[in-house]
Each structure stands twice: as structure tokens, then as C-alpha cells.
Amino acid sequence: MRAFLVEKYGGEAGMRAAEVPAPRVGADDVLVEIHAAGVNPLDLRIRNGDFKAFLPYRLPLVLGNDLAGTVVRVGPSVTRFAVGDEVFARPDKDRIGTFAELIAVHQDDLALKPATLTMAEAASLPLVALTAWQALVERAHVRPGQRVLVHAGAGGLGSVAVQLAKALGAHVATTVSTAKADLAKDLGADVVVDYRTQDFEEVLDGYDIVLDSLGGQNLATSLRVLKPGGTAISVAGPPDPAFARELGLNPFLRLAMTALSFKTRRDAKRHGVTYSFLFMKADGDQLRELTPLIDAGKVRPVVDRVFPFDETLQAMEYVEKGRAKAGKVVVSMT
């Protein structure tokens, strides 16, 4: 089958198209013919080797973390899916590989595709929708009336998180550029801060939760807009000790992550708030919980551009250079 491989870490030069064997199908696996795959900043970071210390992939590696497609075979222990089902998923971190014609996914990580979405739209959602769900529902336990700040509210993660926070009954603020303000309002944001002309720290105060996807100084400033007892959850900040324990890392790596996040955790404590690093996980049950919100139009995908499968490398370059105007970039096999 055709696939796009990472042969060596370090950038676009280490990635190429290739013919590879079809995946093996285990007892609990579902073989999916991929119709479309989402392109994520995570793909770029894996390709560049940013996570090789704690995600030791064996190279060459088929890249890709989002998919929508059709079931073509099921393992003997599969009970949830049948040949012909239209599905979507974020495969487990140890079994990525959606930039390919076929993938074997554990049935627990898969869900039926929302009926209202095209394959390209469905492929844009799993990773960012699961990240938003795990941040806002599973970790922050957002309740009606709470105040939630979602950074980069027109981006892939932000556009979903704004909608999910509104669906949960929160008052939502977001940061976007001038050109994306109308989109952010259309997605449901109550307060839109133009980061090009405004300092969000001067506009916002007393928030319960911040979802940060930018890290660095943006995360540091975010700690100051939280009220005492608030929580900053970041997918771009330094990994924390809880994440190291979750992965079961060796003592050296645990110590390294403790050191990396020390300043952020110390600053959070000084402000009377909590810092939490999030690396999302695959979860078919959570996708099933999201599906009614998607089919009801309360969470809708924002797709910036769809590339043909043969142009997967160009799609990654498009994301890497920040050319996407809003939402997600997708590659389509059909």
C-alpha cells in the first residue's frame, strides 16, 4: 500500500512516499480503508523528533494521527464494527500511521463517523476534539457559568474547544488575529481578543480555566488571568511530573520533566492556580460522546484546505509555515 514514511528525524528531508506492507490485523483490530486524514502540528513534532525521548518510535514510521474511512475487515474478537461501517478515529499513540491507504486500529479507539459529516470533515476532528474533551470535560470538569479562555480560537484545537466550552454552558473568551474575529464569534465566543492590537492580560481577568496551545510567554501570562483556584491546561507547555508518571517513564526522564516544568509550576503556585500538561490519548468512547454534539451542529469542523493524498508533504509544509487561515488541513485519498 502507499504511505508516507519518516525515515529519519529532523525535518521534511527525512520523509518520503513509499510502498509498504498492509498492516497486520489483530483479534481486536479493525482494518480501515482511509478516505481522509487530518494534518496536525503533532505530526510535525513527531517527524522532527521532539518526542523521541518518551515516544521511542522505530523508524521508518508511517506518520499521521487522524482518520476517517470505511471498515474493510475486522478481527475475530471485534464486536462493535462490521465491514462497510464508516468510522473515524485518532489511533493510539503507539499505533499511528494515517498517512496511508490502510490502517489497523484497536476497536476501543474507533467510533462510527458522525452522519452529518463528509469524510474530510470527520478526519479533521478526532485529535483536536479528543484534546478539547479531555481538557475541558475530563480534566477541568467545566460547569455552566464558568469562565473559560481558549487561546487561538480559530485554529484546529481552538475552534473545537470554543464550541465545546459553549456547549458545556461556559462563558468563553478567545484570542485570535483581526481577520479571524468574525469566525470566533460565529463559533460562539463571548469575548474575542485581537492579539495583534490587544494584550489579553489587560482585557481578561478572573477566569476559571485556560486552554493554552501556544506555550512560552503566552502560557506564563495566562496564569495571571486565572482567579485563585483556577487551572491552566496546556498542550504546548513543559511536560509535568504527572505526565511522566502516566507514561511510566524511567526515573531519569521523570526528573527531567520535573525540572522542565519547575518554573511554570512554581509561578502557578505563586498565583494560587494549577498548571497541567495534557498529551491527549485515543478514546473511541469519548468520540461517541462527542458525536451527538457534532450531529446537532453544536460542534462543527472548520476545514481550511483539503490536499490530495499524493501532496501530503505539501500539506505538512502548508501547516508548518502557518499558511492555514483557520481550522484544520486534511489530505484526501479519494
> What are the residue ranges spanned by the domains of the chain?
2-125+301-332, 127-277
The helix (run of H) or strand (run of E) holding residue 259 is: helix 251-260
pLDDT given at position 11: 87
What average pLDDT does the structure give for the chain?
96
Q: What is the pLDDT of residues 244-274, one digit of tens each?
A: 888 887 888 888 888 989 999 999 999 999 9
CATH of domain 2-125+301-332: 3.90.180.10
pLDDT given at position 53: 81
pLDDT given at position 222: 98
Q: What is the pLDDT of residues 208-217, one digit of tens each?
A: 999 999 999 9
Which residues in the chain belong to E strands, given as ranges?
2-6, 15-19, 29-39, 61-62, 67-74, 86-89, 102-106, 110-112, 147-150, 171-176, 191-194, 207-212, 226-234, 274-277, 303-308, 328-332
Peptide bond connecting 60 to the previous residue in cis, omega within 30 degrees of 0: yes
pLDDT at residue 334 tops 90: no
In the chain, the percentage of residues whose pLDDT exceeds 70 is 100
Q: What is the pLDDT of residues 71-110, one digit of tens each?
A: 999 999 999 999 999 999 999 999 999 999 999 999 999 9
Question: Distance of CA 38 to CAs 51, 99, 139, 190, 301, Å?
Answer: 20, 9, 25, 28, 11
**What's the rounded mean pLDDT across residues 327-334?**
94
Global pTM?
0.96
pLDDT given at position 181: 96
More confident residue, 54 or 138: 138
Q: Answer positive or negative: Cα dihedral of 61, 65, 67, 70.
A: positive
More confident residue, 27 or 250: 27
Q: Which fold has domain 127-277?
A: Rossmann fold (3.40.50)
Residue 191 cell numbers, joined: 469575548
Q: What is the pLDDT of residues 108-159, one digit of tens each?
A: 999 999 999 999 999 999 999 999 999 999 999 999 999 999 999 999 999 9
What distance in Å separates the CA atoms of residue 239 and residue 245, rounded to the nearest whole number?
A: 11
The count of other CB atoms within 10 Å of the CB of residue 101 is 16
The helix (run of H) or strand (run of E) holding residue 25 is: none
SS3 content of the chain, % helix, strand, coil (to 5): 35, 25, 35
pLDDT at residue 46 tops 90: yes
pLDDT given at position 294: 98
pLDDT given at position 148: 98
